[in-house]
Structure 1
Amino acid sequence: MRLLLRVAAIVLLAAVTVPGYGANGGSGVVVLEVADAIGPATSDYLRRGIESAAERDAELVVIVLDTPGGLDSSMRDIIKAILASPVPVATFVYPSGSRAASAGTYILYASHIAAMAPATNLGAATPVPIGGGPGSGPDKPGEETDDDAAPDPGSAQKRKAINDAIAYIRSLAELRDRNAEWAETAVSKGESLSAEAALELGVIEVISNDIPGLLEAIDGRTVTTEFGPVTLATAGLTIERQLPDWRTRLLSVITNPSIAYLLLLVGIYGLIFEGYNPGAIVPGVVGAICLLLAAYALQLLPVNYAGLALIALGVVLMIAELFAPSFGALGIGGVIAFVIGSVILIDTDVPGFSISLSLIFSMALAGGLLVFAILAVAIRARRAPVVTGREEMIGDIGEARTDIAETGSVWVHSELWNARAATPLQAGEKVRVLDLDGLTLVVERYNEEG
């Protein structure tokens, strides 16, 4: 519920957040800050920031970077925006202690200026297996997070992914006249470099303690954009930090796999409850909104559709247990399918792009408790005495309303019944029901003394 409230709060605050892109004109330096894994929200933020800087005729875009890696598709979108930018882009690994691992290394190589602060590092750009298991297929080039990981060249699929990543980063190195041999090593062997070593090997151009120092260091340098050479005049320029706006922050929230997963479940359950309670309205409205948000978020993420199908199957089986009790067969099967589907739903090992196991097991526990509650009710119902039908009538005590020689009337269960008796009975006598013959009760005199 707190996650849903967070999403709603971001939407409601849309009108009072940071001014939109392009709100201010004039030349200067635009600073964009990334301090997380590279994902759809990061890609949207950087691409629109670069476009905004071009519209405002900025002198330079500085991407302040600290990332463990990220999604390949998002990384490539960012690199395409950098390569197509008429405004030079400097990527600055800052502050000290930051890193540009994996996807960050590719972005650094693609930038017109590559800079680092002291005590930072880059590298470890080896593709890693999807799901993290040995022998499984490789992930995309940007999806590497373990600085010490070395590739296993055993499978042809993995070799193809590594060769593709090597060719990609070499092309970026050659475009920017940087060290292509080390770039290949960063992919093939997962090596990393400190800032000082990177400067010495020609991987970066500048080491600086802060952004003003970086602007002084690169002043007068000539870089080549898609539109031709540009000589930088950056000393003393105004620095404008462009923070993520409401759209980027909303995208960041809903593309968090745990939140997208929660939205998916709320959407499914909301529509199911609306279907079984037509006219409730609120579950249907909330469910539809959450399901659409989840669909939008999941199409931006590396989703395993087998996992999605298993989650849907698990929910359907658990709901089916409510309406067709199978003494646990449907419900337990649903919980198992739900857990397996949830674990394999997101098809990557990139930090920040996996579903929290605690959330998965919390949802599975809730489903399991529902199943066991249904089982308890079903077992209690089987053991409860019969309260309707023929079996419930036999043994009941009533009262003769007429004299009964062979047939007459008796009052049983607040109803008037036809009755017959083997011995004559008088009106007002207590009777016990022995049997039910069609719509006629077979009764006898009831002796209260036993």
Structure 2
Amino acid sequence: MTRSLRLFIVSLLAIAGTWILVGPALAHSEHEGTEAHEQVPFNDLTNDQPMVVDVVELSGLIDPVMVNMMADTLANVDPTKVLAVIFQVNSTGSVVSNADLYELVVRISEAKVPISFWVGPSGSRATGPMAQLAGLADDVGIAPGARLGALGPSILPEGWAETPFGLPLDTDLVTDTVGYDEAAERGIARQSPVLLAQLVGIDGFEVITDETVSPPTLEPVTHTRFHKLDVVSEFFHTVASPAVAYLLLLIGMGLLVFELFTAGVGVAGVLGASCFLLSTYGLGVLPTRWWGVALLAVAFLGYAIDIQTGVPRAWTVIGTVALVLGSLFLFDGTPISWITLLFGIVGAATGMAAGMPAMVRTRFSTPTIGREWMIGEMGEAVEALGPNGTVTVRDAVWRARTNRATPIPVGAPIRVVGIEGLWLEVEPEEGGARDHRERSKNTQ
């Protein structure tokens, strides 16, 4: 495949990737980006349009996608049809500016219907800006096993009349969290083991007791309408998570390096370019240290240099150090879990330092290319062979070994006398050991 054709294909991939990134954002501005599902009460016998409670599910970091969803929900609420809005949250941080968060603060404070936050189900967390937003709402509930607090730096402008949960600015909840029992004891949240309990606590939400079962249960009369991100918005919300953006970046660069050692643009190149482009969206949303990205690029450049030579050497060490540092310091204030870091660093280092050189040697030493021609070929020692080292034959780097009785210094001419697996058996141009010469005759 010609260089111009490969450049044309890569250009098309770049254009397609740009459209993938920009298109959903443009489409998102034209609609709410949510899917709604209404739960109809079991005893609904009327054709009238009853009041509903909107439940909006929010999980992950507060990013532009989540901000748009919350803002659209609050802006489009119809008080003649909606009784209240409940945000079901599990969020521990934010990657948007205080200006975007302040917009949500204003919309919550000016909402035409009661706004409620439920930290649930069990295991959910509401910390940082999400906890502050919850503390400014009309109602907060928490499930057993959930945690609320760790407010962090205030997102409110100076002079704002309210404080989260009505607490002083130096409250211990700036750094600490509370659970199910303590939140209720301190009066900052009511106990809501399940979502229905949170719904029942909303003024005007009607239920009846179903006595046809044992024990009797509460059944909602008021409709509940659930909202969540649509498929496209959920996809980009996931891509903007630190772990996914980091792994996409490593996979993308690794596959692009792999593509350098293949003939033409193949599946690896297309997949690598797609992963890399998607990672740039996540990196653009997250608080990324761009020098961390540069370190990761240096890492893969170093690996590529040694892959070309066929054996791990100095550049592999440089690449590994850059990989570790770039991974640890990629994001500012948004840490990646140790499991993700371990998987990314070990996987990339192993694949680049061991897997890729072996793949390249295997690829270019297959019978389809033919290796018999190498017997008798002359080359040069890239490093001293005593007995193992590397040599070049027709400008290609190979791992090689010689007889211990005839070590070969750097730069000395060598002759290929045999091939054993992926290794070349070589001897000095003059004075080769007897066993090599005999081995060469036996292979003929």
In which range does the TM-score fall when normalised by the shorter chain?
0.5 to 0.7
Quick one: percent identity of the two aligned structures?
23
Q: 1:77 to 1:352 in 2, by over 3 A?
A: farther
2:104 is matched with 81
Q: Is the 8 A contact 1:314 1:338 kept in 2?
A: yes
RMSD across aligned positions (CA): 4.4
Counterparts of 1:352 and 1:57 in 2: how far apart (Å)? Answer: 43
2:415 is matched with 386
Counterparts of 2:157 and 2:172 in 1: how far apart (Å)? Answer: 9
1:242 is matched with 227
2:172 is matched with 186
Query: Is the counterpart of residue 299 in structure 1 residue 281 in structure 2?
Result: no
Task: Give 1:302 deviation, angstroms.
Answer: 2.0
- The letter for the 2-side match of 1:63 is F
Unaligned runs of 5+ in 1: 1-10, 126-140, 142-164, 222-234, 396-450
Q: 2:156 aligns with which of 157, 161, 168?
A: 168
Q: 1:236 to 1:368 in 2, by over 3 A?
A: same
1:3 is matched with none
- The letter for the 2-side match of 1:260 is A
Task: Give 1:334 deviation, angstroms.
Answer: 1.8
Counterparts of 2:288 and 2:228 in 1: how far apart (Å)? Answer: 29
Once the two structures are superposed, the pairs formed by residues 27-426 of structure 1 within 5 Å of their partners are 27-34=51-58, 36=60, 38=62, 42-43=66-67, 45-51=69-75, 53=77, 58-67=82-91, 69-73=92-96, 77=100, 80-81=103-104, 83-84=106-107, 86-88=111-113, 89-95=115-121, 98-117=124-143, 121-125=147-151, 141=152, 165-166=153-154, 168=156, 174-175=161-162, 178-181=165-168, 184-187=170-173, 190-194=175-179, 198=183, 201-204=186-189, 206-219=190-203, 236-275=221-260, 277=262, 279-323=264-308, 328-350=313-335, 355-370=340-355, 378=390, 381=399, 383=401, 385-387=414-416
Q: 1:241 to 1:76 in 2, by over 3 A?
A: farther
Deviations 1:269-322 (A, max 9, x none): 444454555633434332322221110111111222222111101111111223
**Any idea what SS the aligned residue of 2:82 has?**
coil
Counterparts of 2:228 and 2:68 in 1: how far apart (Å)? Answer: 12
Task: Give 1:357 deviation, angstroms.
Answer: 1.6
When normalised by structure 2's length, the TM-score is 0.58
Q: 1:354 to 1:52 in 2, by over 3 A?
A: farther
Task: Give 1:26 deviation, angstroms.
Answer: 7.9
Q: 1:386 to 1:217 in 2, by over 3 A?
A: closer
Unaligned runs of 5+ in 2: 1-19, 25-32, 39-48, 206-219, 362-382, 392-397, 403-413, 418-427, 433-444
Task: Give 1:346 deviation, angstroms.
Answer: 2.5
Q: 1:382 to 1:58 in 2, by over 3 A?
A: same
Task: Give 1:111 deviation, angstroms.
Answer: 2.0
Q: Is the 8 A contact 1:44 1:248 kept in 2?
A: no
Q: Is the 8 A contact 2:117 2:139 kept in 1?
A: yes
When normalised by structure 1's length, the TM-score is 0.57
Counterparts of 1:351 and 1:265 in 2: how far apart (Å)? Answer: 14
Q: 1:386 to 1:57 in 2, by over 3 A?
A: farther
- The letter for the 1-side match of 2:203 is D
Counterparts of 1:36 and 1:254 in 2: how far apart (Å)? Answer: 11
Counterparts of 1:106 and 1:356 in 2: how far apart (Å)? Answer: 30
**Any idea what SS the aligned residue of 1:285 has?**
helix
Q: 1:213 to 1:277 in 2, by over 3 A?
A: closer
- The letter for the 2-side match of 1:31 is V
Deviations 1:308-363 (A, max 9, x none): 11110111111122345797122222222222212221333557698432222121
Counterparts of 1:295 and 1:54 in 2: how far apart (Å)? Answer: 38
**Any idea what SS the aligned residue of 2:171 has?**
helix
Counterparts of 2:357 and 2:124 in 1: how far apart (Å)? Answer: 49
Counterparts of 2:159 and 2:309 in 1: how far apart (Å)? Answer: 61
**Any idea what SS the aligned residue of 2:390 has?**
helix
Task: Give 1:110 deviation, angstroms.
Answer: 2.7
1:410 is matched with none
Greater CA deviation, 316-325 or 293-302? 316-325
Q: 1:107 to 1:359 in 2, by over 3 A?
A: same
Q: 1:47 to 1:167 in 2, by over 3 A?
A: closer
- The letter for the 2-side match of 1:180 is L
**Any idea what SS the aligned residue of 1:386 has?**
strand
Q: Is the 8 A contact 1:79 1:110 kept in 2?
A: no
Would you say how many aligned residue pairs link Structure 1 and Structure 2? Answer: 321
Q: 1:202 to 1:80 in 2, by over 3 A?
A: farther
**Any idea what SS the aligned residue of 2:348 has?**
helix
Counterparts of 2:164 and 2:173 in 1: how far apart (Å)? Answer: 18
1:157 is matched with none
